[in-house]
Structure 1
Amino acid sequence: MIGPDDASANGATALVVLSEPAPDDIVALEDQLYGFNVAATGIDDGRYLSIFLKRDDGTIYAGLHGHSWAGVCEIKTLWIADSERGKGLGSRLLAAAEREARLRGCHVIHLASFTFQAPDFYERHGFQRLVQLEDFPRGHANVLLAKTLMPEAPV
């Protein structure tokens, strides 16, 4: 933690920089921004989207987490344990997220993947590269990808 800035000397509220903020503080901050977004757009359909694969003891060995709002689904995390990779779990998680996003009325899914992670995996699943932020992290790139969701055909 870095200490308060000079503002406190003249009576202003001090800034506090934290490396490990309280989870409740992050939720409060996100809730305030969400409230602003709803007020600006009139759209109040935001929800988390989380899918987990767990062992009998409750240990997560694969999962996906993100959120949907205003017709867009954003995947923030997709992770598979090393011992479970190559078994199609990532494809299953992604397909389940796409189905749920469609049910929520989403028309697109966005995500980011470092070049040492899985951008090629996402491209094989129909995602398009939007932009590549070079040297982030140093020697690599952060790839922003999106996939347009077509409505499912009636059964």
Structure 2
Amino acid sequence: MLGGVSSANNLIVGDQDPELEQRLSDELDTFNTAATGADDRGAFSVKVTDDAGGLVGGLAAWTWGGLCGIDMVWIREDSRNDGWGSKILLAAEEEARRRGCDRIAVSSFTFQAPGFYQRHGYVETGRTRGIPGGNEDVHMFKSLT
């Protein structure tokens, strides 16, 4: 017996496993709902395309219990000075409000865009050190009320 676990169990380390990720997400959603009473988790995205259908930029986020979390934001390099980041972020904030959120959180590496979020009213709540190149992950929060 290893650490209280029967030796009949198998510990498997491998490449990304989408089926496992979905199962873990489902199990955690069930646990989190039981612990908090909040059962309104949902994902959304904001996307900008050019006239040829190419991706200019986008955002992926989730909402749950009045909180919106931004997972990813990306703008194509040749469009980064065209205001799309602000338009996408404002659209996401509006969608979060529409879904009943009153707060939003995001993190950005120091070599990415923490200043961008701060210019949009986000406040730093902490940092994680140890990002490659001597960088940090800056955690930020904004009230949507």
Relative distance call for 1:86 and 1:36 in structure 2 (3 A) is same
Aligned length: 142
Q: Please, which runs of 5 or more residues in structure 1 have no aligned partner?
A: 1-5, 151-155
TM-score scaled by length of structure 2: 0.89
Report the equivalent of 1:77. Answer: 72
Within 5 A, what are the aligned runs for 1:19-98?
19-21=15-17, 23-56=18-51, 58-98=53-93
CA distance in 2, matches of 1:73, 1:43: 13
Which structure has more strand as a fraction of its residues? 2
Does 2:128 match 1:133?
Answer: yes
CA distance in 2, matches of 1:72, 1:55: 31
SS of the equivalent of 2:85 reads: helix
SS of the equivalent of 1:135 reads: strand
RMSD: 1.8
Q: Please, which runs of 5 or more residues in structure 2 have no aligned partner?
A: none
Bigger relative CO (Cα 8 Å, ≥ 6 apart): 2
7, 14, 23: which one aligns with 2:10 = 14
CA distance in 2, matches of 1:67, 1:134: 25
Over the matched positions of the two proteins, sequence identity in percent amounts to: 41
Moved more, 33-42 or 70-79: 33-42
TM-score scaled by length of structure 1: 0.84
Relative distance call for 1:19 and 1:138 in structure 2 (3 A) is farther
Report the equivalent of 1:153. Answer: none
Moved more, 91-100 or 34-43: 34-43
4+ aligned runs moved over 4 Å, structure 1: none
